[in-house]
Structures are given as structure tokens and as C-alpha cells.
Structure 1
């Protein structure tokens, strides 16, 4: 569609609606919305154009180590030409092919990581509520089109620029666009023109957030035709910042690079001095050795492998309903020491069922569970219904009171109860839906909807803890009536009377105390309590013009919330999730403290917490009022020892997070409301609810629970620890294997005379391994096994240890010691194998240099493949869960098959300087290589004994 001419804020609403060709009541049709989406494109800001494949491939060659290899190709080719260009330049061809193979591996790894990140972005895409074909529905924000009727509620992230059609106390935070910290009140109307962006009160803008109220707007601009899009065109694309783990890995790579360059220079110098290099061919051999050693010893694929492992791990977590938005959060998950969780919907099922109604005349029980409206409202064994007559004065009075409670709670609601394909579903808050279900069970719905028309609303907020709606009562001459629903203790503060049958009486202190005592009883039964009150008004109090317009401003309606008549209290059951108790126990086993923070009544919160094992019998629940009375040291003390906080406001959540962090804790905090966003941002791991959470909290959080389940948080912590363990596994494997290569060449040169290498050849330079063989090892054993270790299932019981300290290095001194030790064993096993088959040396052999070198080459490859299984744990035996990782088994099988091929295929023999081995040679190679496995098993046995002693001492 064409853009709207001029400024939509200065145009009459009817003209705006006409310009975008929409219906202000029914919205667009599905067919028209699809056509506009196809025509205008998705509602997304333009990003940097995708990098062409040829650039990605070329980038694989832009690495200092690749430059070294290419230099080696030039040197080898030059030497081949100088010496007469006889035959093929084998070394040059082999090195070139290895460079190309490395580039293909690097490209495929990066492509896999990009695909995983793209999938993650699709999972975390925001949604918007629209009216299409007259029905309210949820659609991806990217599917919004010009003319859509956008429905806004507290906590929504606004997906497009839109003109306000209807507003109820609608306030929008526009700091992301204007920098103004104070939320802006939005209302319909036409502006004069010339107002700055922050003063356009009849418009809402893409990228801002609703902090209060509700409203309806007509979309006037999407994608780059929004104010946010205009800003985006002025900004340069920013590069993704590396995570702390990626920075540490890069630092390790640079450190290793510097060390290996020094080692390569020393090895080259040693060879030069010991062997007496006199010919160009010898000089080229030494140079190729140094280059190959440097390339093989530095695991240049570490960043790519790390990205792939993190991305795959995040995808696996998403499949288990934990959507981690940032890869860096995976690192933090393994360190989480405190989980601060909401109660409703996270620790409980969030399937609110209204079970009890308490009024002045007695108690009524509501049968049936869930959202299917099947059941009855029963008092003293009699079913109460809208048409019930007689039954005695007391029963009739109770029926009248229950009617007002259930119908009133349904009026003060923005939820919907629908039946689709035989299934009853809710749209909105489950607590509000519970009233709708109970009301339908009593048969009140049709009369209530026909009798009342809403003309105003004061939305629920975390601070107010109540919601009020203003209606016209058509059965009483359109007299206005205010209905309030909220926390009983909060609501009673604004009540001066109580309903008694068809009459009212003053609310004295005795009645007030009795109501609060009833609340305690229900809360002690783990029920969530909600009170209902009302006030009949005079037209003059509301205003004739406001009533005539059918829209009373929320500010005016809020002034009427006094002198209310309290009708009754309802008790709703939201039982703990079956999985929550086990998850809490698992968290405790992992050294993680669980804290419940809820807006519910203290007794309800404490009962649920005790049932789940969060709090012990006799523990206390601290309220927001209690917290406000504490000084800073007192606040810190309470937060350090209390596990249940009730009746808290969002600002208390933020203070609790800050206090825990000041005490050195790593905090995961859950939230669903817009006011929870600051606490989620402040927490080390902000966890947003995927079902009940607002779009604002989903954007603020670093993780989204697709199922709103506490057990999913604990499962995510486990997965975070497993992923971090796997990163250590492939680092342990790569570095120890590369250490083995470096030590093999260095010691082989220094001890060439001892192991018989010098006497085995007439050449001045005799090496334990050829440069091309070193590059082959790097190609075959580095990528596939390391990636397989990156997706290894849990080897150690990761939840049996305390959270990882924040400052703990990925590779600590203990791990470095193991890396050097295993590398040394590899080198010794390789050189001893060469010695066994060579004449002379420590052990007398009878094979040629080519056969002995091939055996040593094979031993080193097999030793690294054995080392894959060693690297799965620093303490657990390699034989534990040996067959649990099919990718690892496949990678090892591929490595063995590749080595057989390079030893026995003539074309590869010529390329890599190998000779065929017989069964005896292979057997000796396999046995010698296995020394790495047995050495590491002995090392792990000692480690386990030491760990057991440390545990006893603690």
C-alpha cells in the first residue's frame, strides 16, 4: 500500500482509517492482510545485506596460519622448480589440498552456527494482538501490515507505528525512541501539528512498550516506514560483541600461537644446527616443518567449533522449552547460585479454578476443575443457580451475594472464555478466566452481558493490586456502577459497607477482621484469594458527557474507588506442578538456593513453598511492607536467609536481586509483567514467561520459558553446565593432542640419534614426522572429534557439584597439567614406536625409515583418537558410557578409516610419504597408542581419590 500522505497525528481519524482502507471495528480480513504482507513485505527493520557465499569462502583463507601454509606452498614449488621440476610437486599439491579442505570445514561450521542463530531468532520473535475478521488473534509482529487493528495491553511491545483509536489509561514508555524516561499518556484526538515525537499523544510507535492500560490503534506504518525505521537508516550496522568465553578462547589461541611460533623457531634452529643444513632441499624441508608445526599446534578452528557447540546446545535447550536468547547466557547458567521464582504458573500449574465463595451468608463450593464450565455452585447441599427461587431467606440471601461476586468478578475482567472445536480455551489472565468459568457454571453469563455495558476501566497494576471497571446498568435506568476486583486486604481499605443478602450494612471492625480471618483460612489451604466490591454511582459523579461518549477516562474512574461495598471473597486453587517439587530438590542438590517471590498472600505463598521444599516448616514469609521497614543492612540480612517473599511489588524484586548480587550470588530471576523488566535486566539471568509473560519481559529477559515451568529453569541450568563441560572436553582434547604433536617433533629432533633416526638415512635432515603428515593429523583428528565432544551427553553428574565460580577459568592449572602430561605420553609412545621398528636406537628393529616413520605417524593418530575418550571427563573413566555418543564413535571410525587409507592407498602414500604396514605393525601401533588411555585412567583414579579426601575434609 502507498504510505499515508502527511503526518497521521494531524489527520482526522476517519481520514486515516480511509487512507489505510480498514474497518475500525472488525479490522482487516485475513485475505487482505496476507495480500498486503505479500505486497509490502514483512514488518522488519532492514538489516545488512547477507554476505555472499564467495565472501564467506574467501574469509576462510584470511588467517595468519593459512598465510603461512600458502607461503609454504610457494617455497615448496620454488624448490621443485629450482631442482628441475621432476615429477609432480607433491608437497605443494598436498598442502594446497589441505588448505582447501580446512576452508571447507571452516565454512560448513560457520554455516551451521549461523543457521542455529537464525533458528533462535525465529523462536524469540515478538508477537502482537490484532483484530482480523472481527476476531482477536495473536500474530507474529513481523506479519503486521498497514491497516491492522492493533490491540494493546500492559506489557505489550508495540510492533508498528499506529494511530490511537481507543485508550483506557494507556501509557507508553518511549525512552527507546525519544530518550524520555517518563511514560507518555496516549489518547485519541487530532493534533495541531508541529509537535515533537515525544508529544504526539495520539500515536504509538514501533519499538516502544505499554506500561499501563489498554487501547486499540490502527497501524499506519510498518518496517522502514516507521519512526524506528527512520533512525535505523542513520545507524551503521554494529558487529556482535564476543562473549566472555569467546574472548577467553581467542586469548588462549593467541597465547598458544605465540608459544608455538617460539617452539617452531627453536625446533627449526635445533634441526639446522644438529643436522647441518647444506642444500636448498634441506632448507625447504626445515621451513616446511616449522610452518606445519605452527599450523598444527594452534587449534585455529576453536572459535568456529565454540560457536557451533554453543549454538547446537542452545537449540537443544529450546527443544526442551528453554529459549536462551544470548549465547553468553549459556555460560552464566552454569554459574547460577540462586533462582528467584514467581509462584503462579511457574511453580504452580496456572490453571486457576475457583473453588470457594465466602460471603456474609456463608460458604459456597464450586465443583469442577479446569476451564470447561461443567460443575455447580453448591451451598448447604443445594445447587445455586441464576434461576434458583425460594430455599429460605438465608439461602436466598447467599445466592444473591454469590451472583454479585461471580458476575462482578467477570465484569472487572479483560479475559475471554472460548469454545473451539469442543475445547474450552482462555485468552487473557487465568485468574480472571476463573471467574468467567464459575459464572457460566451458575448460569449468569447471558444475563450479565445483556445487562451491563462497560464505559470505563482502571487497569490492574502491580502497585494497585486491584482492577476496576465502570458500567451502565440497563436494568436500573442505565445507572453507572463501579466494580472492583483485587487482593482482599487491599480492597477492604477502600470499603465502608458490606453486602448482606439484598441489602448492605456498615463495614465495622469486627466484620473486617472476620473477612481477613477467612482470607487466612483460604490462604492456609494454598488458595489464591480475590475480593469483589462495588459502588452504585450517580450520573453526576461520572459526568453526563463521559457516559454519553461511552468512554470514561481511567483517571476519572479511579477517583471513584472509595466507599465501596464489599461483597465477598473467592478462593482459587492453583496446585503445585507435579514436576516442581523434584526440580526444587534437584536445584538444592546442585547447590542452588530457590527463593519464591510472589504478589500472593503470605499464607498461600508459605504453604506452597513448604509443600515444594523451598521453605521448612516454621519458616517465615516476609512481605513488601516488612521489606520497606528495613534499613540496608537489615534488608541484606533478610534476603540472605528468607526464601519466601509475598505481597511484593516489582521494585522489591529489583532490590532483592541487587542485594543477592552484592552478596556474590549469580541470580536467575523470573518475571511476566511489564514492571518485572528492570529486575530481569538486572539479574544475571532474566527468565521471562513464554505463555503469561508480556512482550516487554520477553525482550528484557535473556531466557524465555516456553512452558512457564520452574522445572524447565533447573533443566536449563543442567544443560548450561553440560554445555560448559563439553567446551572443556574439546579444549582438553585439542590442546593435549596438539601438545603431543609439538613434543613429538621437538623430542624427535633432539633425540634423533638416540632412537636411531640419524643412522637410518643419508639425508642431512631426518625428521620423525613429515610436514604433510603433521598437516594430515591436524585435518583428520581436530574437527570431527572436537565437534562430537561438543555435543557429548552428560558424562559426570553435573548437578552433584556446586555452581561454577564466576572467575573460574575455562582451563585451570589442574587441566593444564593434564594437557601437558597426556601430550608428553603421546610423544613418548610415538617416538618409541619409531625406535622399535628402526635398526639401532634403544630397541633393535629391522624396518626402513619410511615404514618406521609411518608406524610412528599412525601411533600418533591412534593416540589422539584414544584421547577423545579420555577427554570426556577429568575424573570419570573413559569406559563409562563408552557407547553413549554415536557422533563420537562415528568421528573415531572416520579417523581410523582415513588413517588406513593414507597408509595403504598408493596415491596417498606418495602424497604423504607413507609405506604399507602389516598386521604386526598395526598391532604394535594400537598397543603403543593405548598407553595414552591407560595413563589417563591412572591419573583419573588418583584424581578421584584426592577429590574423595577433600570431600571428607570439608
Structure 2
């Protein structure tokens, strides 16, 4: 129970950890620490007493919650959130908006001039500056939509960040619990293991062969050995061997630390401002959008200049009205060309797509990584847990006297021994040796097995391979036989060593010490010179070695993962008495992790186990789908080459009798060219170390591949970070690997990667769909304005004797069209179901343009058709046109122009709605899956309803310069707009024929 009066002590100790001057005040019954206490100079128990925590129990959950409320979350201070009003005003920070505001000013000046020059008592002119009012209102509506879309995208990103939030193992209420790192509080006992990121500053109370990489904090490139001993005098940060610091990572061993500082009260908190100064580079997709906007802007400026020059030469500017009308025309062209909501729509579409991927267990940490994911050409995958079920089960135990099978599957410790060959004469010896083999494996082990009291399900804590040995030992009661041993030291497993050893004392034999080892049989055998047979120990002969290696080959060929077990009695109760063991200056035994050559020599071979991890049934289909999509699957594993080849063959990664290349064979290659030649063909690698994974990834990248690389261990982090798409395991992955990766698999399943690639391709296709739609529609608007001005005389837009420039469509009408078509239909296309088979084509290269030549062809073609039908529709309602010659006497030219503009305005809206349907595929007919996207049909319905309102609501008639249309005019509008869809279908038929 924690006394709340100790908050001051906790706060003071919290401050002391960060180097501030707050004194520590503690209850004298718990021990008084010196003023401005340095935890590294204080005994670990005294630090625990000052923070009022039992290192063996940890804080209670209730006390942890109270401290979290008191001291705040364990996170670095970030920039204060931007107020909502600033986010809203930011929507106006755009060159296009400035242009529209200029148009508003010009429109107001024109209205004032018109009012000033009006004859008193005469009718005419607008009572209000409707153009200016409408532009401002549409700008506000556009800003509101942009703000809403941005907010949704931020919520999606926040949800993703919660799913990928780093986690920490802490001791709470006597049990190890995994919590979000942000919830760690002063006084927590953090439990550290290989691959963990240190989540706070802390004083070590337990350390076993613990090494921590502190380069991010101290610049020290080599991992630092850590011990719980109290320092005799103050030392520099990099030399505080009994302290751990936030932001560093565990590379080896285990430990526990009392948290002394969290959040900004950590050493890394002092440099938080420097960390926040970094900015992310733009993704290729973002660069492409900037390029498209630049091209559009330049093109519009050129068109506007050409039009203005042509007008000045052909018609001249007679008065201020002509100048103002010409400037408004230039603004109209700009409004027509640029899709205002493009950036917001792109962000929302990516956010929604990434959320869908997260629902299917693929958590992409950054939105723009989606485009890279869809471009993957090689997937490099671990075997265990990714291609297989990760339900490791010991099925075979092979000893010098025989072989047994262990029944039962999974982690439930239910099963028994069955002699494989019933004719084996040494049945008793075989069973005894099998028990010894599993007992050694369970002792040289960092895993744990627990039964969930609520569900009754047995749960594996730690590495599944290690837990399988514990389960096997339970099944044959070996755990009981070896229960009197207690660990005193550990030489941890590393990918380079491929073995692990512990030193344990026999409490039933005067505390005598024994080394227990397990590891890859071919590696461990090299450290053995004796063998235990039927209770006796004799020298290990060359014949024994060959027989053991042959058994390894046999079991590996049957897809078993093999692990050898060995031991060595040290014959003493003190490591200091072992010949060759190094002592430090104080006469104590130096770190035993650095004395493996001494302790792991002269081992006695006991036996080996065969562990099976069956392939995931769904992976074979996923490998086949990846192959169909032009994506090569590469297996990289530490297992035996025969095991790797067998699993790879079963999954379809390689053909029957395919070979696996080993790490040693990779090392034997003379240069990068030879390596590239090998990696271009070989798809299975076995017995590899982490540096081999990095070499393979770099080699594949040199060949122009976009590489996805899976990883879980801390040593996988460099390869995962180097890959184009680093993929971390969500279940078995270490925090360091998760932080290095761009994507996290919540279920550790290879099929999820392939599904994510499919989703990524679908998202990218949808981006191309709405880009094709938006740009072709906007180009259609530009061509309409441009053609309407250049050919005004032919079309009847300009009548003989009229003054000034007459634009075919008003700026407010163009803004309204963009408001209708840029938002809802484009967003609906962003969640469009796949219309094409996205996995039936080769991967896209990152150098490929998002808008390629074929798409520009679509855009220009549709834009021309759209402008043509719009201008024809206007011509049909004007006197002196190409297609009709209506009399102007009855209603006057101005009234005819308003009706014609209403026609063109409406035709353009409907043409863009048909274009939305046509743009769902570059080749596929619009009638394939016509009603698959209910959101698109809803958006079209809303757009049509709003257009009807603009035409039939009186005050909107005035604002947008429209008049009600007759039934016949509606038939003309729909009929002409439908030509856009028909033309698109004919173009697709031609393109499909050319592709065939």
C-alpha cells in the first residue's frame, strides 16, 4: 500500500532523475536519501523505498492510475494543438483562394462602377453584387468541407497511432503486465528483454547479461553492459552502468528497473526540441500532386494570357468594363482548371484506405506508405509464425539410445512418450535420456507457460520455440525432476551464437554448479567432447558425430526444426573456482556472458528434439496470388536448409527438389555482382544471421526491386528499416523492430502482407480514378471557357453590335460546378470497389508517373468531348449559332444568353456525373459493376438535387445567373451529357482491342 503523503518524495525523485534541484524528502522509516540524490549512487532498494514500491510486486493498478493523474503521461512535450479556428483559417491559405478573393474585389469594383454610372431612375444592373457574394459564400463552404475532411483524416491517423502505440512490460500487483508506454509512471518496475525499447529513465535492480544500445543518447556505437551494482562516484551519462534511459534499446539479456523519470523528466526529454525539429520528406505521390498542380497552373496562365491577348487584338478594350470583364475571364479560367479539394480528398482517401487495412490486421504507420506497398515486387519473409502457425510443438526426441515421439499438440501440457521403434532394446535408457534432454531444454530457457484462469487456455510467454521445450518437459514430468535447480547466470542466445546456456546451482547437492546448453545441433556439437549414454558418460567419437548430423538431416528433411541439448557439471559451488574463469579487480566473477568460451567448453551431449511448426493453410494460396501479381516470395530463416526447403516447397515458394542457400554460402561469394546473380534466382535462405538479411535486401534493391521485409527480433531492425516496406510482427515482434517498420502485422501472418498489397494497389487505383475524373472534368471546364471565348462569334455567344467580353460561363457557375463535383463524387470514388483485377498485373515502379501518358490521353479526350457538348448545347439556344438560328427579337440577346448559360451550366454538371461513372476504369466498361459503389450513386443524387435547386429556386437564379428550363431543354441536357459516356465507352473498346 502506498502512502499518498509520499507524492513529494516521488516528485522530488522524479525531478532528481532529470537533473533538477528539487530535494528528496522521504519517510525516515523508509530510509533517508541524500539531498539532490543521484539514483546511480544510491542502493536500488533505497531508491525503491523512496519511491514507495516493492521491486518484487510493483505498484498496484490503482496507485499507478493515481500517479499517472498526478505526474502526467510518459511522453515528450509536443507542440500545442492548433486551435480549431486556426485550422479553419488555414483552409484559405492557398494561391487559388487568393485568386478568387482578387476576383471578388474585381467584381465589387465592377458593381460599384456600374451603380455609379447608372442613370437615375433607370432600371438595370444588379441590386447586390451577387458575383462577389456567391464567390465568398462558396469559398466559405469549400473551407468548411476542407476542414471537415482534414479533421476526419486526423482522426484516422490518431486511430492508427493508437494501434501502433509502443508498449512496455511492467510489474503490477505482482504480475508482469503489458501496457502502453505512455502509461508508465514513476515507481513502476519495468521488465526488460532483448528487443525492448526502454520507455523511461530508471535504476536497475536486476540485470542478467544485460546490454543496451545507447547510441541515440550518448553516441556510443557499441552496446553498453549493464549491472545493478551501486556506483561509487558520479559518472558521465554513458558510464552509468546501473541506469537505463528512455529511447535506448535492449540488445541482449534481461533486467528490471525502477522508473525514476518519465516524459520530459528524462534525459531524452532534454533534447526533445531537437527531436521535434525533424520533418518528413514528401512521398512520390505528394511530389506528383505538386507537379500536376504546377503544370495545371502554368497551362492556365498561358491559356489566360493567350485569350487576353487575342481579345485585345481582335476586339480591343474600349472601357473599364472591358478590362474588368477580361480579368474576370482570366479568373474563370483559373477556377475552372484547378480542383480545389484535391489535397484534402487525397488525404481522406488514404486515411480511409489505411483504416480498412488496419481492420484486416495490416497496420500502416504512415498514410503515404500505401503507394510503396502497392509497388512491392519482392516479399522477404521469416518462416516461423509468418509462413507457419507458430504453434511450436516438440514431437520427436532423439537420444543416443533411441527415439521417442511426444503426443499432444499446442501449448497444453497434455501428452506422453511413445517409443518410435518398438524393437528398440534400450527402452528404459531411451526414456530416461528423453526426460534428461527435455529437462535440459526447459532449464536453458527464458520462456514461461501459464494457464489463463478465466479461459483455461495455456498461454506461451516468450519465444514459442523455448515454450515448446517447457511444454514437452511438463508432458514427461521432467520439470519435476529438475525442479531443485536454480539459475545463477546466463549466456544469452544470439543469432550469431545460435546457442544459449545457463549456469544453475543444484540445491539438492550442496549448491554445485552445472552449465545447461541448447542450440542448433550442428553448432552445439562443436562444443561437445563427451556423450551421455544409458546413465554413463563416455568420449564423443567421430562416429557419434556423423550419426547425430545424419539424424539432423533426416529430421530436417521431415520439416522438423532441431535443437540439441548438452550440459557440463562444473564440480564446484562457486564460479570463482572454475579453472579459466576471469575475475574482476574486486575479486568477483566478471560478466559470464563474456566468458562463453570457457563455460561452454567440454560439454556432454544429451540428445536433440524435433520441433514441428506446420505451414499456415492459407499461405499457399497467398504465395500463388503474389506470384500472379508479379511479386516474388523469398523465405529467410535461421532453420536448417532441409527444413526450409521442405516448407518452401509445400507453400509453392520453390519447386520440388529446390535448394536453400545458407549464410555461410552467402559469405563465400566474392563480390556484390556474384551476390546479385544469386539473389536474382534463389528464393530460400537458411541458417542466416541478421547481417545476411541486410545483404539480401540491399542486393534485391540494387536490382531495381521494391522490397518488403518482415522481422521480429532486435537484430532484424536494420534490414527492416533498410527495406522499402519494413514489416514488423505485431505479436512476436520487439518494440525496436516495430519502431523501425512502416507496417505492423497484427496477426503475424504472411497472407496479411499479400492482402495489404492487394488493398494498397486498390487504394492507388482509386486515387488514379478520382484524379482521372477531377482533371478531365476541370480540363473540360477550361476548354469550355477557352472555346466559348475564341469561337464566340461562330456560336452566337457574341452578337454583332454587343460591347465587351462575353464569357460562356460565369465564375460563380464554375465554382458551383467544382463544389458539386470535387467533393462528394471524388470521395466516393476514393472508396470504390476494384473494377479491375489489381493482382493480375506486374508491380508498379516507383518511378512510374501517377498520371501517365495513357491517363493524360483520357483526360484530354474527355475534356474536349465535355467542352464540345456544352458549347453545342449553348449554341442550340442562341441566335446566329452553328446549329440553330433562333430569333433574338422576342426575348433579347441578354435573356437568350442567360438561358444558354443555364443549358451549358447544367450540361457540364451532368457530363461530369456521367464522367464519374466512366472514370472508374481506364479499360473496363462502365456497365461492369455499375451499381457496386452505392456511395458514388448517392453523391450523384445529391449533386443533381443541388443543381435542380440552383435552376428552380428564385434567389439562386439571381445569384448564379440561371433560369428555369423546360422539359425539352432537360432532354437536350441529358442527351448531350450522355455523349461523354458514349464517347468514353467507344474509346475503351478501341483500347481493349489494342491491348488484346
TM-score category of the 2 structures, normalised to the smaller one: over 0.9
The answer to whether the Cα contact below 8 Å between 2:510 and 2:573 also exists between their aligned partners in 1 is no
2:426 matched residue in structure 1: 394
Q: Does 1:582 align with 2:621?
A: yes
Give aligned pairs, total.
939
- Structure 1 CA distance for aligned equivalents of residues 745 and 263 of structure 2: 28
Query: For residues 761 and 99 of structure 1, do their structure 2 counterparts lie closer, same or farther at Cα, with a shift above 3 Å needed?
Result: farther
Cα distance in 2 for residues equivalent to 1:623 and 1:235: 40
Give the corresponding residue for 2:790. Answer: 750
Instruction: Map Cα deviations across residues 754-795 of structure 1 (whole Å, 9 max, x no partner).
Output: 122223995543322112111111111112222222222212
- Asked if the contact 2:401–2:426 (Cα under 8 Å) also holds between the matched residues in 1, the reply is yes
Q: Deviations over 1:192-233 (max 9, x none)?
A: 444221111111111111111111111111000000001114
Contact persistence 1:456–1:557 (CA under 8 A): no
Q: Give, in whole Å, the separation in 1 of the partners of 2:481 and 2:935.
A: 64
After the TM superposition, which of the residue ranges 186-195 and 353-362 deviates more from structure 2?
Answer: 186-195
Among 549, 554, 559, which residue is 2:598 paired with? 559
CA distance in 2, matches of 1:503, 1:235: 62
Partner deviation per Cα, 1:518-541 (whole Å, 9 max, x = no partner): 111111111111111111112266
Equivalent in the alignment of 2:852: 812
Structure 1 counterpart of 2:19: none
Give the counterpart of 2:464 among 414, 430, 434. Answer: 430
Note if 1:39 corresponds to 2:70.
yes
Q: Give the match for residue 87 of structure 2.
A: 56
CA RMSD of aligned residues (A): 2.2
Q: TM-score, normalised by structure 2?
A: 0.91
- Structure 1 pair 295/757, CA: closer, same or farther in 2 (3 Å)? closer
User: In structure 2, what is the Cα distance between the partners aligned to 1:393 and 1:26?
Assistant: 52
Residues 760 and 849 of structure 1 are in contact (CA less than 8 Å); yes or no, is this contact kept in structure 2?
no
- Contact 1:721 1:798 (C-alpha < 8 Å) held by counterparts: yes
Q: Partners in 2 of 1:159 and 1:551 — Cα distance?
A: 28
**Given the superposition, is the C-alpha separation of residues 431 and 840 from structure 1 closer, same or farther in structure 2, using an over 3 Å criterion?**
same
The answer (yes or no) to whether the contact 1:353–1:369 under 8 Å persists in 2 is yes
- The whole-number CA distance in structure 1 between the counterparts of 2:154 and 2:282 is 15
User: Does the aligned pair in 2 maintain the 1:669–1:679 contact within 8 Å?
Assistant: yes
Write the mapping of 1:441-460 to structure 2, written as runs, cut at 5 A: 441-449=475-483, 451-460=484-493
Residue 604 (1) aligns with residue 643 (2): yes
Secondary structure of 1:903's counterpart equals helix
CA offsets 1:500-535 (integer angstroms, 9 cap, x no match): 122222211111111111111111111111111111
1:2 matches 2:11: yes
Alignment of 1:43-192 (within 5 A): 43-84=74-115, 87-192=127-232
Deviations 1:473-497 (A, max 9, x none): 1232322111111111111111111
Asked if structure 2 preserves the Cα contact closer than 8 Å seen for 1:169 and 1:213, the reply is yes
Does residue 225 of the first structure (1) align with residue 245 of the second (2)? no
Q: Write the distance in 1 (CA, Å) between the matches of 2:303 and 2:424.
A: 100
Q: C-alpha displacement at 1:935, in angstroms?
A: 1.0
Q: Which moved more, 1:298-307 or 1:109-118?
A: 298-307
After the TM superposition, which of the residue ranges 862-871 and 259-268 deviates more from structure 2?
A: 259-268
1:758 is paired with a residue of what secondary structure? coil
CA distance in 2, matches of 1:331, 1:765: 46
Aligned to 2:412: 372
Q: Mean alpha-carbon deviation: is it higher for 13-22 or for 481-490?
A: 13-22
Distance 2:284 2:267 in 1: 34
Q: In the alignment, is the contact (CA less than 8 A) between 1:246 and 1:306 conserved in 2?
A: no
Deviations 1:90-130 (A, max 9, x none): 11111110110111111112112211221221111111111
Alignment of 1:487-526 (within 5 A): 487-526=520-559
TM superposition shift of 1:356 = 1.0
- For residues 946 and 621 of structure 2, the distance between their equivalents in structure 1, rounded to whole angstroms, comes to 47
Within the alignment, does 1:626 sit opposite 2:626 as a pair? no
Residue 849 of structure 1: how far off its partner (Å) = 2.5
Partner deviation per Cα, 1:28-67 (whole Å, 9 max, x = no partner): 1111111111111111111110111111111111222111
Equivalents in 2 of 1:635, 1:374: separation in Å?
A: 47
Report the Cα distance in structure 1 between the residues aligned to 2:91 and 2:386, rounded to whole angstroms.
46
Residues 458, 558 of structure 1: 8 Å contact kept? no
Q: CA deviation at 1:852?
A: 2.1
Does 1:537 find its partner at 2:537? no
> Who is 2:253 aligned against?
213
Superposed, 1:819-898 pairs within 5 Å as 819-844=859-884, 846=886, 848-898=896-946
- What does the per-residue CA deviation read over 1:138-160, in whole Å, with 9 as the maximum and x for residues that have no partner? 11111111111111111111111
In structure 2, the residue matched to 1:736 is 776
Encode CA deviations 1:242-287: one digit per residue, 9 max, x unaligned: 2221122112112211211221233344445555554544443332
Distance in structure 2 (CA, Å) of the matches to 1:583 and 1:776 = 47
Alignment pair present for 1:925 and 2:934:
no
User: Are 1:944 and 2:953 matched, yes or no?
Assistant: no
Q: Note closer, same or farther for the CA distance 1:60–1:425 as it changes in structure 2 (3 Å cut).
A: same
Q: Does 1:244 align with 2:284?
A: yes
1:419 matched to which residue of 2? 451
Report the Cα offset of residue 551 of structure 1.
11
- Does the 8 A contact of 2:792 with 2:798 survive in 1? yes
Call closer, same or farther: CA 1:588–1:392 in 2, change over 3 Å: closer
Quote the Cα distance in structure 2 between the aligned partners of 1:312 and 1:272: 49
CA distance in 1, matches of 2:307, 2:928: 39
Describe the SS at the equivalent of 1:559.
Answer: helix
**Structure 2 residue corresponding to 1:616, chosen from 655, 666, 672:** 655
- Once residues 404 and 163 of structure 2 are traced to their aligned partners in structure 1, the CA distance between those partners, rounded to angstroms, is 45
For the 8 Å contact 1:3–1:221, the answer to whether it is kept is: no
**1:336 is the counterpart of 2:376:** yes
CA contact 2:515–2:569 (8 Å) conserved in 1: yes
Q: 1:339-382 CA deviation, whole Å, 9 max, x = no partner? A: 11110001000010111111122111111111112222222699
Distance of aligned partners of 1:550 and 1:31 in 2 relative to their CA distance in 1, 3 Å threshold = farther
Gaps of 5+ in 1: 383-390, 949-954
Which deviates more from structure 2 when the two are superposed, residues 437-446 or residues 623-632?
A: 437-446
Deviation (angstroms), 1:295: 2.3
Which of residues 376, 385, 405 is equivalent to 2:437?
405
CA distance in 2, matches of 1:238, 1:515: 55
Give the superposition deviation at 1:944. 1.4
Residue 951 of structure 1 is matched in structure 2 by none
Mapped pair 1:703 → 2:703: no
Contact 1:246–1:303, Cα closer than 8 Å, also in 2: no
TM-score (norm 1): 0.95
**Aligned counterparts of 1:234 and 1:631: Cα–Cα separation in 2:** 43
Larger deviation: 535-544 or 693-702? Answer: 535-544
More displaced stretch, 523-532 vs 633-642: 633-642
CA distance in 2, matches of 1:21, 1:807: 59
Deviation at 1:609, TM superposition (A): 0.4
Q: CA deviation at 1:550?
A: 12
**Deviation of 1:20 (Å):** 1.6
Q: Give the match's secondary structure for 2:659.
A: coil
Check if 1:21 corresponds to 2:52.
Answer: yes
Report the Cα offset of residue 469 of structure 1: 1.2
Say if 1:392 and 1:179 are closer, same or farther in 2 by CA, change over 3 A: closer
- Evaluate the alpha carbon distance shift between residue 339 and residue 765 of structure 1 in structure 2; reply closer, same or farther with a 3 A threshold: same
Q: Tell me, in whole angstroms, the C-alpha distance in 2 between the residues paired with 1:619 and 1:780.
A: 58
How far off its partner does 1:921 sit?
Answer: 1.2
Structure 1 Cα separation of the partners of residues 312 and 962 of structure 2: 24
The range that moved more, 923-932 or 392-401, is 392-401
Report the CA distance between 1:3 and its aligned residue. 3.3
